[in-house]
Amino acid sequence: MTQTLLHIDASARRQGSVTRDLTARIVNVHSDARVLRRDLAETPVPQIDETWVNANFTPAADRTEAQVEKLTGSDALISELQEADTIVIGLPVYNFGLPAALKAWIDQIARAGVTFRYTETGPEGLLTGKRAIIAMASGGTGAGSEIDFASTYLQHILGFIGITDVTLVAADQLAINADASLSKAQGAIEALARAA
């Protein structure tokens, strides 16, 4: 059975982007997969606003046509996630955190009752049985360090919606030693290829 892969890029840079290069290499490892493509810089996801929030918190059966329309973009993004077996996400670190484009995507797909739900024992993610591969690049932020508010947050939010099988491919601290960082990331991708 053909696997479906969702390929997400968020770097504002079209040329010379390390994360775009890494995600392309990771996708190439899964050469037999059907690939869904989402470029958050090329086609930005709208920020949520008051109208969106009101629509989201209105029970589905009670939504007006305008509210249903307001959520169609979010529904489409969630449908891609539901369809995907593996999600590959490019994560350039901007000022110790996520690019705004990627945060906007998260705000659109983290929806109570759709991708997670609250239970008596706490929140439960609904997008289970999937795998995510994060391709991170940073100038000075070490992956998983106390100043890494990007990969740690993204791993947390993926787990929150049920995606707990997460691999981090990090080309971190490029400003300190780019060659070593890129070599480490390439080694991680080669390990993915061997495991595929």
Residues 156-190: pLDDT tens digits?
999 999 999 999 999 999 999 999 999 999 999 99
Residue type, 141: T
Residues 50-68: pLDDT tens digits?
999 999 999 999 999 999 9
Burial class (CB in 10 A: 0-12, 13-18, 19+), 67: middle
User: Is 138 known to sit in a ligand binding site?
Assistant: no
User: What's 80's domain CATH number?
Assistant: 3.40.50.360
- Read out DSSP for the chain? ---EEEEEE--S-SSS-HHHHHHHHHHHHTTTSEEEEEETTTSPPPPP-HHHHHHHTS-GGG--HHHHHHTHHHHHHHHHHHH-SEEEEEEE-BTTB--HHHHHHHHHH--BTTTEEEETTEEEES--S-EEEEEEE-SSPPTTSTT--SHHHHHHHHHHTT--EEEEEEE--HHHHHHHHHHHHHHHHHHHHHH-
Tally of domains within the chain: 1
| pTM of the entire predicted model | 0.96
Q: Which domain holds residue 66?
A: 4-195
How much is the pLDDT for 56? 97
